[in-house]
Amino acid sequence: MARGWFITLEGGEGAGKSTQARRLAGAFAAAGLPVLATREPGGTPAAERVRALLLDPALAWTPLAETLLHGAARAEHVARVIRPALEAGTHVVCDRFADSTLAYQGYGLGCDLGAIATLAGLIGLAPDLTLVLDLAPAESKRRLAARGAGADRYERLGTAFFARVQDGFRALAAQAPERCLLIPAAEDETRVAGRILDAVRARLGLSL
Ligand code: T5A
């Protein structure tokens, strides 16, 4: 049985990752291909509990502790959900993965990038394709305000932090062009979805 493809969606707050993850998983299902849509932090009952701790605005974490919590949640998610699905031939679409730790805890909070890469190596799974939705922090802020939900711990961080995160995602995409594709996310939702489908067809050879 062929292993499934592992596709991740990355980018700053409100860039449209959840929207596009849903659409992409829908395209797989419509083509009759087995697909699992999941997210980080989270994706297992224990990792969803870690997510609640990470997003709680009433808590404060040191950058290192925060990095390790993301790593703990990811180790669970990979071992219990993502890797078994891929090995069973199911394609996995994941809303955020290890690049988020490099961008947020590394570029954003100043954690050592080499140490974060070592943690990713311990977890030991890399995506086949990463779609990085690129959106200016000011537009992210506008979208989140329009959505109107209360801000979680990350959404309360300031514009300078989100500018570093955006620069981080751009740098990561430039460092791994064979895996990553930067997608302008300010475009209309359907156009962004079209670019994503084109990338999946061209890079993974799938007929969606
Ligand atoms: N985090 C996560 C780390 O710091 N390190 C890590 O290692 C990991 C894995 C997760 C937080 O954890 C941090 C990063 C995050 O802050 P979250 O709530 O899952 O928290 O945060 P996000 O992933 O940013 O989720 P959001 O829902 O806020 O953003 P999305 O998923 O990018 O955006 P989406 O699809 O929900 O859309 C947001 C709004 O914009 C509209 C949608 O309808 C929605 O209202 N929209 C568009 N509007 C105009 N044009 C388009 N093209 C649009 N696409 C969507």
Q: Distances in Å between the alpha carbon of 158 and those of 13, 55, 108, 138?
A: 12, 15, 10, 11
User: If you take atom 38 of ligand 1, which residue's CA is the nearest one?
Assistant: 14
C-alpha 65 – ligand 1 centre gap (Å): 23
State mean pLDDT over 84-113: 98
Q: How many CB atoms lie within 10 A of CB 149?
A: 8
Which is more confidently placed, 146 or 88? 88
Asked if pLDDT for residue 132 goes beyond 90, the answer is yes
pLDDT of residue 4: 98
User: Which domain covers residue 53, as residue numbers?
Assistant: 6-204
Q: Please report, for the domain that includes residue 165, its CATH number.
A: 3.40.50.300
**Ligand 1 binding pocket includes 6 (Cβ within 6 Å):** no
**Ligand 1 binding pocket includes 43 (Cβ within 6 Å):** no
Answer whether residue 117 is part of any domain.
yes
Answer whether residue 95 is part of any domain.
yes
Residue 151 confidence class, pLDDT cut points 50, 70, 90: confident
Asked if pLDDT for residue 156 goes beyond 90, the answer is no
pLDDT of residue 35: 98
pLDDT in tens, 42-79: 999 999 999 999 999 999 999 999 999 999 999 999 99
Closest among 186, 172, 161 to 66, alpha carbons compared? 161
**Ligand 1 binding pocket includes 14 (Cβ within 6 Å):** yes
**Ligand 1 binding pocket includes 56 (Cβ within 6 Å):** no
Number of domains in the chain: 1
Answer whether residue 1 is part of any domain.
no
The residue to mutate among 8, 10, 13, having the most atoms of ligand 1 within 8 angstroms of its beta carbon, is: 13
Q: Where are the beta strands (DSSP E) in the chain?
A: 6-11, 35-39, 91-95, 129-134, 180-184
Residue 141 confidence class, pLDDT cut points 50, 70, 90: confident
Answer whether residue 40 is part of any domain.
yes
User: If you take atom 15 of ligand 1, which residue's CA is the nearest one?
Assistant: 154
Task: Say if residues 16 and 185 touch (Cβ distance below 8 Å).
Answer: yes
User: If you take atom 46 of ligand 1, which residue's CA is the nearest one?
Assistant: 16
pLDDT of residue 148: 77
pLDDT of residue 62: 96
Asked if pLDDT for residue 155 goes beyond 90, the answer is no
Average pLDDT score, the chain: 96
